[in-house]
Chains A and B, each alone.
Chain A
Amino acid sequence: GQQLNQSPQSMFIQEGEDVSMNCTSSSIFNTWLWYKQDPGEGPVLLIALYKAGELTSNGRLTAQFGITRKDSFLNISASIPSDVGIYFCAGHMNNAGNMLTFGGGTRLMVKP
């Protein structure tokens, strides 16, 4: 199956710092999605990217769809304690079933 390599696996940062995480793949994706998952909850969509080169912001979050369509990054600026959680990238290939392929996740910890 398709693989998404997400890095870093975990980050421990000070409140107020900026954060960056990324996903890469050997395959081309037509949509990139970034989700946040809190403990015991389902993934919640943060940002969706639909075109190569697209740069989209959602508050303090910014994500970009790589030009090659094989990568994407997510930046969080001025982190706050409630940013703690696991962030997943996910890619969609416009195949018959609309399945998403998820990255391995980045666990973010923020020290107040």
Chain B
Amino acid sequence: EPEVTQTPSHQVTQMGQEVILRCVPISNHLYFYWYRQILGQKVEFLVSFYNNEISEKSEIFDDQFSVERPDGSNFTLKIRSTKLEDSAMYFCASSPGAGGYTFGSGTRLTVV
């Protein structure tokens, strides 16, 4: 079964450092997303990406965050200057259209 692949599985970074989280969505999917889940809390939407541009973003997705699809297969989330409160699981997802989401296994980001 096709999978969404995320790397790394765990990233530890110092406060103020930049991090890039990487994702390989399912190849024939058109929509790409990033969600995050703070430990013990619900999954929260960050951003959706379609046709090489951001189609929607939440209040969480401020100027410190950016997304990119640098080539035909990768989809990245960059946090420019990490804060302690950015510590969370970050999930990439993709879908062919409305619904039909597939989530990756996540990257656990720990900011120290």
Contacts and interface: CB of A to CB of B under 8 A. Distances in A.
Interface of A: 1, 30-31, 33, 35, 40-45, 48, 50, 88, 90, 92, 94-105
Nearest to B9: A40
A43 B56 contact: no
Contact of A99 (B41, B45, B59): B45
Contacts of A1: 58-59
Contacts of B47: 97
B6 to A, nearest CB: 8
Contacts, number: 71
Interface of B: 4, 31, 33, 35, 41-45, 47-48, 50, 55-59, 91, 93, 95, 97-106, 108
Contacts of A97: 47-48, 50, 55-57
Nearest to B108: A40
A96 B43 contact: no
Given A40-B108, A96-B55, A98-B98, 7 more contacts: A42-B4, A43-B91, A48-B99, A98-B31, A99-B45, A100-B101, A105-B42
A42 B42 contact: no
B53 to A, nearest CB: 11
Contact of B55 (A98, A102, A103, A105): A98
Contact of B103 (A30, A43, A105): A43
B29 to A, nearest CB: 11
